[in-house]
């Protein structure tokens, strides 16, 4: 992790009675991180990737970007102006094309204003982002973790996190959201990185 907050989280979690040994064994976790200034791009990509394999989504994303020659990624204005038929031609479903149009419109009219994010709590940002059609709580939480780099996110609805906690704490069944919150109390302030290690814990486990 490159940010000071995640370096602090790494140091903290190494001392955790349950997760510490695993953290030390596997070392720092690296991942593809987006700068917070790319909020529109991050959320647009999240919509495109929904319910698709990585390879299929990568192909559609490239076709989508190719609709806007000379740009690394389209602006909300670009997406508002382009015809839905062209988005469909890039491989997007009509539903996802509608979601992207709605996302662009909400950035354009200020319903989503990334300039306010620094002053907003995690819960406020989630409520802000799920106003977009096609974006639910889980996607909003991933946005917090990987785009805004918020250090204390616990996506209790994530199946791999549920199973990771079940395995780590040797539980008979997957924990409820309330129990997950309780189990994660010792990780307060560092739950984002803890979740990344829970995902790592579950890698390759069926």
- Residues carrying an active site annotation: 158
CA quadruple 157, 135, 130, 166: dihedral, nearest 10: 10
Q: Distance (Å, rounded) from C-alpha 123 to C-alpha 9? A: 21
Q: Distance (Å, rounded) from C-alpha 142 to C-alpha 81? A: 28
Please provide residue 75's backbone torsions phi and psi, each rounded to the nearest 5 degrees: -90, 165
Cα-only R_g, the chain: 18
Alpha helices for the chain (secondary structure H): 4-13, 20-26, 39-49, 54-66, 76-81, 84-89, 94-108, 122-129, 137-146, 159-168, 177-183, 191-202
């Amino acid at each position: 992790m490159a940010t000071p907050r995640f370096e602090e989280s790494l140091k903290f979690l190494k001392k955790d009675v349950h997760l510490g040994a695993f953290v030390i064994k596997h070392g720092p976790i690296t991942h593809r991180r987006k700068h917070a200034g790319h909020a529109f791009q991050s959320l647009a990509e999240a919509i495109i990737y929904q319910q698709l394999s990585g390879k299929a989504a990568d192909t559609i994303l490239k076709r989508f970007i190719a609709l806007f020659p000379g740009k690394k990624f389209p602006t909300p204005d670009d997406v508002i102006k382009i015809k839905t038929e062209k988005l469909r031609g890039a491989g997007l479903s009509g539903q996802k094309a509608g979601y992207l149009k709605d996302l662009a419109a909400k950035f354009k009219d200020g319903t989503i204003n990334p300039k306010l994010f620094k002053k907003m709590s995690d819960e406020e940002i989630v409520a802000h982002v799920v106003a977009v059609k096609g974006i639910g709580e889980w996607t909003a939480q991933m946005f917090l973790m990987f785009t805004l780099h918020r250090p204390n996110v616990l996506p209790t609805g994530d199946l791999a996190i549920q199973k990771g906690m079940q395995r780590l704490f040797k539980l008979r069944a997957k924990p409820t959201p309330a129990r997950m919150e309780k189990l994660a109390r010792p990780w307060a302030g560092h739950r984002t990185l803890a979740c990344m290690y829970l995902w790592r814990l579950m890698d390759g486990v069926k």
